[in-house]
A and B are shown apart, each in its own frame.
Chain A
């Protein structure tokens, strides 16, 4: 158990809909990262938050947004969903700041768009 929790575990929704994925980092970690992993693909970095502020942005679509709350949990919002958005979405956390930079991953949310 990495200490990172993600809900829900599975999500099935229709095209055009909007969903919210939730992540709670390990105790003491200030940085949260979101990744997308499509079938048999590598990990695509979406976005990072550090202590409530956006820190780095990857290949995140404009239809996607995220935020980190004062209690450090984070939410990833996916809107106007398309079939191609079906994937595993992982959250990871790290201490942040000056390191160490080891990221610990949650169990993921499997999103299926039909």
Chain B
């Protein structure tokens, strides 16, 4: 089915380190979105990707829409303590004709100062 496998599930890093996380699927997606959620808050949209191969940056964040359209990557450079949170990927399947996003289960990021 249209499931997203997001990895890693959690990460513990030192301030200043770079971070990489990814989402993969066996299905093709037309759109990839990356969100960050702080505890008890709503997810905040970080980056939206619409074309295969697209590479988009938002400050220290960079995300890519995989060439196969079955995966996406998010990189955070020079992490800082406020990067702590849960990062979700979300994709819009190419089949189905709906606007319903499929969400990954999240990557929990902890940054040690």
Contacts and interface: CB of A to CB of B under 8 A. Distances in A.
Interface of A: 2, 4, 31, 33, 42-43, 45, 48, 50, 55-56, 58, 88, 90, 92, 94, 96, 99-108, 110
Given A56-B98, A101-B31, A103-B33, A43 B42 contact: no
Contact of B101 (A90, A100, A103): A103
A105 B103 contact: no
Contact of A90 (B43, B98, B100, B104): B43
B99 A42 contact: no
B99 A31 contact: yes
B21 interface: no
Contacts of B106: 42
B98 to A, nearest CB: 5
Contacts of A96: 99
A107 B105 contact: no
Contacts of A48: 98-100
Interface string B27-52: 00001010100001111110010100
